[in-house]
Structures are given as structure tokens and as C-alpha cells.
Structure 1
Amino acid sequence: MITFTKLMLLSIGVIVIAVKWRAPTFNAESLKGARILVTGASTGIGEQMAYHYARFGAQIVITARREGVLQEVAKKCLLLGAEKAVYIAADMSNVSDPEGVVNFAVDQLGGLDYVVLNHIGPSPYSMWEGDVEHTRYLMQVNFFSYLQMAWKALPTLEQSKGSLVIVSSLLGKSTSPFAAPYTATKFALNGFFGSLEYELAMKQSNVSVSICTLGLIDTEQAMEKVRGMLKKPIPYPASEAALNIIATGAMRQSELYYPWTIRILCIVKDWCPSLTKYFVHNLYIDNP
């Protein structure tokens, strides 16, 4: 006789197998000549996305704060096979810059097929000490600028039957110590763009929305933050994360969980919150 517990374990097992073996497959040729805007592209996941898009022969506009670094990334994109690669330096904490970037991209490419929003503002990995101003700054960079860019890009994406790709985090699904402001911005992203996806569908829009939930990725910035904090950090490669994000957008899928185990962690959080709290408390080194 199958008990409820056995049935639940069997269900989890089926989910694990289904998620683990659903490897992203997409037609890379569909991205040849595609007009793409990638933010936060001077380093980390954004930089790797730019290189992947370049190899697929796309037309790319990249943006971040550091003009010199962007110039080098754009040069490499051209060497890798990008049909076009241009850059614009922008500071997303400046309320006029997000829309300016979209205008620049549309002018340079004649429209957009993909808008990949990936940028984040600098934030210390430490206990929150009541710094409301920094939290407000981070909300502008990590959240409000996303809204500004999405709204500005929607008309051209509607014409091209394009895609909005939002790079989020496990911390937008499950809370953690030492990242309260950052976590707040990611929860806001997931909530807003999850709702926007429904609204666009109700309006029979041509635009798809993909929300990408990532675990710990081996970017220089992420690894520097957790160094000496986590007992056994297991980061995943930025290049692979970038490719999964690209595939998700190209296939117009609603969600990505990378690595696949992140989906399981989210399920466990909802089903067994006490287990999640135990896991989080034991994830960190004592008195980091």
C-alpha cells in the first residue's frame, strides 16, 4: 500500500528527474542577426551572454558603467562573429539613463528582438544596519531601472514579437542573511514581472517574459562576497548560466532555474519551511 509519505517522495523524485534531464535545446540559428540589448555586460554573466550572442551572429548593444571595459567586450564580440557590437556607458542609478540606453539601442539596431536585463548595483554582503539610503539606491538600480527599460522597450518588442529576459536570483524566492536590500530588489523583480507576464498574455501581446532564477555563480563579484562566509560554496560557471539564460529567452519560456537544483530548493522552502531555516542557519560559518 502506498502511503502519503511514499507518494510525496515519489512525486519529488519525478520532479527531480524531469527537471534534471530537461536540457535547454534551442535553434541557435534563430539568433543570427537578432537585435539584442544586454545590460550589466562589462563582466560576469552579462559579459558571457554578450560573447555567446556574438558567436551566434547576433547584433548586440551592451551597457554597463565602465566605458573602457565595455569597449574591450565589444571588440571581442566582433572577433567572435557578432554581426554588430556597440556599447553605451550608463549608470542605472541615474533615472534618465535607463530609457536613454533603450533609445540608443533602438537607434543603433533599428529595433529590438531581445532585451536582457541583468545589471545590479554594488551591495555589501553584511548584516543590515539601517542604511535606508543605500536600500533606496539599490531599488533604483536593481528594480526601478528594469521597469523603466521594460516599459520603454515594449513597443519595439511588440513589433518584433520579441522577448524580455529578466535575470533574477534564488534570493528572489527564498530569504537569506547578509543580503536584505539585495533580496528585497529580487523579490520585487519576480513579483512585478511575474504579474506583467499575465497582463501581457491577457492583452494577447506578442512579447514573452522569461524570469531566470540563478543560484551561486562563479563571477568575481559573487565569489568575493561569499569568501569566508559559506562553509561549502558550490558555484556554477557563469558561461553555462549565460547560455541557459539565452536559451530560455530564445525558446520564450516563462522560467529558468539554474542550476536545476534551485527549483527543488524552492519547492522545499514552500513545503518544509523549518527544513529550509535549518539549512540556511547551517550554511554559514559561525561568526563570519
Structure 2
Amino acid sequence: MGRLQKILIPFLGLVLAFWFYSARENFKPEMLKGKRVIVTGASTGIGEQMAYHLARMGSHILITARTEAKLQKVVERCLELGAASARYVSGTMEDMAFAEHVVKEAETLLGGLDMLILNHVGTSYFGYFNGDVGHVRKLLEINFLSYVAMTTSALPMLKESEGSIVVVSSMAGKVGFPFTVPYSATKFALDGFFSSLRQEFSIQSVNVSITLCILGFIDTESALRAAAEVLLVAPAPREECALEILRAGALRRRELYYRYGSTRLPLLLRDWAAELLDYLVRSRYRLDGLKRN
């Protein structure tokens, strides 16, 4: 009973704290009207939906991804939805010079920056780790180092505007998940870098917020293609997820857990019952649907 109390009391306290905190939040779309925003990885999925939400709110948007034809269509749709302005830059985040170039384009085209949304991700496999160190290195460059490069380049503008950095991460960056070893490593790196950077901002009185978004299984094309036949949980809608990310960024929250029940609550077990959490994580998968490398 004593061990159960140790688990339940913090759990209930966290639920109450979350309810109280959420009840006090007051997001209004007008908060993002006229704001100058970069969204990376915006040709499909969550990034594309964030661009559309920002357009409806009247933001100035600069989007980026690898495929120019898709970006053109997203920009056209953003203008139809009411964006104050919408432009794109196409290229690969494997190139750190391109990551920095996107920020310079924002300075030229938008005249500054209010929000940097880092959402892009490199392609990886879903399966047992195959020992390919080169793949891990490449994924770190795209999923982590380019985030660092863009943040570093954008900081002067963000300091001037007292703006926000929004980092799209994953539960795989908080808890060890099987079958996504290289991907998980990059997401853990994001957590370490941006959580530490937030501490330094506080010490230096830098008024730039950092919001780390911890996402579960979302119904993006890439996620469904990789894990739909293996995961035993239903994906959450990308449109709603995109709006929650923007809401958290506008409110300058430290972290967003989406959806809360499948992300934040299981983390309570990490400190109190780590082996149980590991078991629950493994139980989410249907192994007969997994392709071995």
C-alpha cells in the first residue's frame, strides 16, 4: 500500500496542477496576428497544418522543406486562407549553411522574426537497430544540429522581438522506445540542448521562450507508413496537434504534451516504476507486424 501511495499521490497532484494551470490559460488567435513565423518541415503533416492555422490567424509565414512543388501548393493555400504574407525556401537540412540561409531569408523577407518553429525530421527506419553509425550521424545532423544552427542564427532577431522558439519533439525523446533507436537519440539530444538553453536564458534574463513539444502517435503520412501496422494505439489528428503546438508557443509554455493522457501521464511511472513503464511501452507493439532488419 505504501508503494501504491507513493505512485498515486504525485499522480493525482500532477493531474490537479495540470487542470488548474490549463483553466487559467487564455489563448486567442489574435496573439499570432501579424507575427513573423518560420515553420520548418511544412510541406506535409503537422508542419503543413501549422502553416494553415497561422494563415487563418493572419501571420506572416516563411515555410521550408525539401520539395519545392509541395511548398508552392502550401503557400498558395496559406494566401487563400488569409495569411498576411506567405513565402517558402526549399532545401535540405543536412546542409547547415541552408539552415542558416532560411533564417537570413526571414530577416530579408519578413524584416525580423517573432517565432521559430522547428519541426523538420530526417527519414529513418522503424525496426531493430541495425548498427549503422553513419545513419545515426546523418539523422543527428538533420534532427538535432540543424535545430541548433537555426536557433543560433535566429537568436539576435528573437532577442529583439522577445520572441519564441518552438521545438517539435516526441515521447521517444523522453522514454526509451524500441524500434526507433536513431530517431530517439536525436530527440533526447533536443531535450537536453533546449532545456539547458532555457536555463541559461533565465540566468541571463533573455526574454525568449522555449516550448518543447512532446508528441505521441500522430496521424501523419510518415508515422502511419512506419508504424500503423505495429502500434496498437490509435493516432491523434495532426490538425488538432498543430493547433495545440501553436497555442503552447503563443502562451510561452515550457512544454506541451499531446495528447496528455498518452504522453505526460505515463512519464510519472518513469521515476516510480521504471520497469512497469518499460513493459507498458513494449506492450504497445504488435511484433508480428514488424519487419526485421
Q: What band does the TM-score fall into relative to the shorter chain?
A: over 0.9
Give the structure 2 partner of residue 56 of structure 1.
57
- 2:239 aligned with 1:239: yes
Alignment partners' CA distance in 2, 1:158 and 1:47: 26
Deviating above 2 A after TM superposition, structure 1's stretches of 4 or more consecutive aligned residues are 2-8, 13-25
User: TM-score, normalised to structure 1's length?
Assistant: 0.95
Alignment partners' CA distance in 1, 2:267 and 2:45: 24
Alignment partners' CA distance in 2, 1:103 and 1:187: 28
Give the fraction of aligned pairs with identical amino acids, expressed as a percent: 46
Give the structure 2 partner of residue 152 of structure 1.
153
Alpha-carbon displacement from aligned partner over 1:130-161 (angstroms, at most 9, x marks no partner): 11111111000000000000000000000001
The code of the aligned residue for 1:62 comes to: I
Q: Is the 8 A contact 2:115 2:158 kept in 1?
A: yes
1:56/1:187 CA distance change after superposition, 3 Å: same
Q: How far off is 1:227 after superposition?
A: 2.4
1:3/1:274 CA distance change after superposition, 3 Å: closer
Alignment partners' CA distance in 2, 1:158 and 1:253: 17
- Mean CA deviation greater in 33-42 or 276-285: 276-285
Q: How far off is 1:3 after superposition?
A: 5.8
User: TM-score, normalised to structure 2's length?
Assistant: 0.94
Q: Is the 8 A contact 1:19 1:260 kept in 2?
A: no
Q: How far off is 1:4 after superposition?
A: 6.5
Give the structure 2 partner of residue 107 of structure 1.
108
In the alignment, structure 2 segments of 5+ residues that lack a partner are none
Q: How far off is 1:217 after superposition?
A: 0.5
- Mean CA deviation greater in 179-188 or 91-100: 91-100
Question: Number of matched residues?
Answer: 286
- Pairwise CA RMSD: 1.6
The code of the aligned residue for 1:54 comes to: A
Alignment partners' CA distance in 1, 2:98 and 2:222: 23
Q: Is the 8 A contact 2:7 2:269 kept in 1?
A: no
Q: How far off is 1:233 after superposition?
A: 2.1
Alignment partners' CA distance in 2, 1:283 and 1:31: 37
- Mean CA deviation greater in 124-133 or 277-286: 277-286
Q: How far off is 1:58 after superposition?
A: 0.3
Alpha-carbon displacement from aligned partner over 1:182-203 (angstroms, at most 9, x marks no partner): 0000000000000000001111
Give the structure 2 partner of residue 117 of structure 1.
118
Give the structure 2 partner of residue 131 of structure 1.
132
Secondary structure of 1:164 counterpart: strand
In the alignment, structure 1 segments of 5+ residues that lack a partner are none
Q: Is the 8 A contact 2:7 2:272 kept in 1?
A: no
